[in-house]
Homo-oligomer: A and B are copies of this chain.
């Protein structure tokens, strides 16, 4: 890796770290009191197992992203990082999709199952969940770029190099 490519790589990793960290912070700080009797008195992310899963997954990836920033450039562990990137991106993707599915029901409800939308009752909470989801999505995009780049370097799937 030459210097500018390494800088670009570190910058992307730093952005991914920032995205997962802000996803966790925004989600954890989201709570709103509701005066409506259909909802419990305080709405928090811990009320839904999918949102809890989102927080746990993003926390794990945040810690990992932080540690990788300090890996020496010539370390042989970079090979392991490719596999860890893959596994942790799966985790991010899975938690993002689960949280999005719940957020969609919270926003639109599901008339077939008689689940009412709750976002009109707790708009602040819903907006924060939405913000956390956007941060999570940005992190997924960045890890996807890093991963495709690693795979591209290792396997050259589009046959751009001459043999």
Contacts and interface: CB of A to CB of B under 8 A. Distances in A.
Interface stretch (A4-12, A19-27, A64-72, A87-95): A87-95
Contacts of A15: none
Contacts of A94: 93-94, 96-97
Interface residues of A, number: 49
A151 interface: yes
Query: Lowest 5 A-B CB distances belong to which pairs?
Result: A47-B112, A98-B101, A94-B97, A97-B97, A79-B157
A112 to B, nearest CB: 4
A115 B110 CA distance: 10
Given A47-B112, A83-B157, 15 more contacts: A79-B155, A79-B159, A82-B151, A82-B157, A83-B155, A93-B93, A94-B96, A95-B97, A96-B97, A97-B101, A98-B100, A101-B101, A106-B113, A150-B155, A154-B155
